[in-house]
Amino acid sequence: MDDVRPVYEAILSAHSSGESAALATIIHVQGSVPRHAGSKMLVRADGSFVGTVGGGKMESLVIMAAQACIADGQSRTESYTLNDIASGDPGICGGTVQVFIEPLLAPPTLLVVGMGHVGKAVAELGKWMGYRVAVCDDRAEFCTPEYIPGMDQYIVCKPADVAAHIPLTPNTYVAAVTRGLPVDIGLIPVLLKSDAAYMGLIGSRRRWAITVNALKADYGLTDADLARMHAPIGLELGAETPREIALSILAEITAVRRGASAQPMRWLGTRAEAEAESSG
CA atoms within 13 A on the CB side of 11: 15
In terms of DSSP bridges, do strands 96-104 and 76-81 run parallel, antiparallel, or are they unpaired? antiparallel
- Mean of the per-residue pLDDT values for the chain? 91
Quote the pLDDT of residue 90.
Answer: 60
Question: What is the band of 92 on the pLDDT scale with cuts at 50, 70, 90?
Answer: low
- CA 18 and chain centroid, separation: 7
Mean pLDDT of 136-161: 96
Quote the pLDDT of residue 88.
Answer: 52
Give me the domains of the chain, ranges plus CATH numbers: 5-104 (no CATH), 109-258 (3.40.50.720)
CA atoms within 13 A on the CB side of 10: 21
What is the tens place of the pLDDT at every residue in 177-210? 999 889 999 999 999 999 999 999 999 999 999 9
For residues 195 and 131, the answer to whether their CB atoms sit within 8 Å is no
As a whole number of angstroms, the distance between CA 166 and CA 111 comes to: 9
Q: Would the pTM of this model clear 0.85, i.e. be above it?
A: no
Quote the pLDDT of residue 273.
Answer: 84
Determine how many CB atoms are found less than 10 A away from the CB of residue 61: 16
Helical axes 205-219 vs 181-192, angle rounded to 10°: 60
Question: What is the band of 87 on the pLDDT scale with cuts at 50, 70, 90?
Answer: low
